[in-house]
Amino acid sequence: MKIALIIVVIIVVILVVVYFVLKQKGPDVKVYEYMLIPQVSEKADQNMLVVEVTGDPALTGIKAVKLLYSTYFKLKGVSKSMKGLAPRARWPFDFNTPKDHWKGQWALPIPDDINTLPKFKNPDNLNVYITKWQYGTVAEILHVGSYATETPTIKKLTDYITQQGYTIVGEHEEEYLKGPGMFGKGNPNKYLTIIRYRISKTNEEVNSSTP
């Protein structure tokens, strides 16, 4: 029994390491070039495995992502392929909030029929749960570069949302296609991040509450 447990732990560690290595290499930017221009589309709601953490993302993000992936690979019925498995994060607060009070909801999509967490180690006592993320109509843009340089890209997207007669009704969300790896930051100028907002036509009434 102990040997089997050790093997499982080793497999999980290897998969997490492989993920971070692949993240540094990242996808081909050409696949996402069309998203350099703001886009509006329909996106289905998704069942998500979430790790919620409060604090400066530079300090808390790596812990959250490691726990997210190690828990994900213990779930029965999920794909064990790393292809296309990019983490997302929602930030349900005003960005003027001091960073040590930022709340990040780090997540991975999982099949709809999974609703129970596996047994897992949680030494930092982070909040881990499964929930449905609402989407519907979304506006998205691809940011190429470091997280510190996102502001102009965000403004480009929010200006587009307003110009097209929409209102933001959901939290700021990011999908990390390529970012820092387990063994270093890589080249921040080559990070690839999808920035996303749930939106609605300004004259429509929408329930903006999101789990």
Helices 57-72 and 2-25 cross at an angle (nearest 10°) of: 130
Q: Model pTM?
A: 0.81
Burial class (CB in 10 A: 0-12, 13-18, 19+), 142: buried
Low-confidence ranges of the chain (pLDDT < 50): 1-24, 182-183, 205, 208-210
Q: What is the model's pLDDT at position 25?
A: 53
Whole-angstrom distance, CA of residue 188 vs CA of residue 24: 10
Q: What is the model's pLDDT at position 181?
A: 62
Q: What is the model's pLDDT at position 157?
A: 98
Q: What is the model's pLDDT at position 128?
A: 96
Q: State the residue for tokens 């069942």.
A: 47
Q: What is the model's pLDDT at position 9?
A: 35
Q: Which domains does the chain have, with CATH numbers?
A: 2-201 (3.20.80.10)
CA-based R_g, the chain, Å:
18
Indicate the Cα dihedral angle 69, 73, 79, 85, nearest 10°: 10
Q: Among candidates 18, 211, 20, which has minimal Cα distance to 127?
A: 211
Q: What is the model's pLDDT at position 203?
A: 75
Q: Among candidates 193, 179, 192, 190, which has minimal Cα distance to 21?
A: 179
- The strand ranges marked E within 110-191 are 127-133, 136-144, 166-168, 172-178
